[in-house]
Chain A
């Protein structure tokens, strides 16, 4: 099990969608920390607390983007990817983005 703390391992100021627009984007986070371990079948825990906050572009591209890029079903992704946060609304939001991305794949 790999544990990734966004604030410590990536940035305290996550922002934006695409890496062409900034190194703290959702796409940059997904490519750097999530895609390869998931392709290798590893389990990942992402600790979301400790940052200043999250915008929906970052969350959607980082986690919803996994469904699109890896062509994986939301159910399978949720078995491999675990989110940890003290804010239940944030966890629900991320889960929603993963589900929405699954719908758009169908």
Chain B
């Protein structure tokens, strides 16, 4: 066989390259050299591994959300949020993420301010899809949430306290919980608590600007999440307002605030403000027609018998735990950063607890 000349080798290579490119074109794929490859605009911001505001990741989540707001709203640049390494979504951190992204997208003048890079793991990817983060950002995600602990996440939002906007959702999730579980949720008690949390968001949260000067959106004032997982019913209401500490002086007498402060164990001033509002609501000493809402927020635990209420506001949180209609534990702590809002989060077991275990 005749040995190919250099010229022939080059010709064959040219032909092979041409045929490869033709094949790629027919398949709709263009071969682009790395230097000419299109890079989507926007700075990449890495999302935290865990969205748990209470156990350790609060500072990280707060910094992440501030970085997104700063880049989009102040620097007016598009961002890509990198969730590749995100593994866990907990209710308070996730509702805050949902609310903040919604706020930033609503305010931004950019055409597509935020894009997301999906998590590697299937479960967190399903969670983002299920709660509607892709709908917010306008990104495509073909995954269909299937996991039992994901499909019951429901998200909604609103700008009034009109019951028609979220009443059917509350009723539907309560019905679902009661259909599948032994311990029944009392719908009127659930309504009373959720209703007051929403009313607080509308009436008090946006009276004053929060730390970054944000004064509220006309289109959305509150965001709500519900979830049923491992026989535990969870519901959270979030606002992006100024927090308890800035408004309690308007509804609660100074003397009462001082009396709670004197017996408060802890050093977080936001946690103290939350506890003061809760104590004022249930003390029955409140005068006039205001300040009763906090009692309603706690009343769900008393009616259900067992469960937890966690209230996060700005940089602090309070946790109330009930068992057999009595408060058995109350603790508080700090998030490490001002989250710029308030989250009220109920966790109610839907099966009878073995109280001997506690």
Contact = CB atoms under 8 A, between A and B. Distances in A.
Contacts of B162: 13, 15-16, 21-25
A22 B195 contact: no
A55 B289 contact: no
A84 B119 CA distance: 54
Contacts of B188: 52-54
Nearest to A16: B161
Given A12-B167, A101-B289, A52 B161 contact: no
Nearest to A64: B289
B198 interface: yes
B289 A13 contact: no
Contact of A55 (B160, B164, B296): B296
Interface in A17-47: 17-18, 21-25
Contacts of A14: 163
A38 to B, nearest CB: 18
A53 B288 contact: no
B321 interface: no
A57 B191 contact: no
A55 B203 contact: no
A91 to B, nearest CB: 14
Contacts of B163: 11-16, 22, 24, 52
A16 B166 CA distance: 13
The interface size bin for chain B is: 20 to 34
Contact of A15 (B168, B195, B288): B195
Contact of A13 (B164, B292, B295): B164
Contact of B161 (A21, A97, A101): A21
A28 B54 CA distance: 39
Nearest to B165: A22
A65 B87 CA distance: 50
A22 B289 contact: no
Nearest to A87: B188
A22 B187 contact: no
A16 B192 contact: no
Contacts of A11: 163-164
Nearest to B162: A22
Contact of B293 (A12, A56, A68, A97): A56
A48 to B, nearest CB: 11
A55 B199 contact: yes
A57 B170 CA distance: 18
B44 to A, nearest CB: 40
A53 B161 contact: no
Contacts of B296: 55-56
A54 to B, nearest CB: 7
Contacts of B161: 15-17, 21-22, 24-25
Interface of B: 160-165, 167-168, 170-171, 187-192, 195-196, 198-199, 202-203, 287-289, 292-293, 295-296
16 contacts: A14-B163, A15-B162, A15-B198, A16-B162, A16-B163, A16-B198, A22-B202, A24-B162, A52-B191, A53-B191, A54-B191, A55-B192, A56-B192, A56-B296, A60-B292, A61-B289
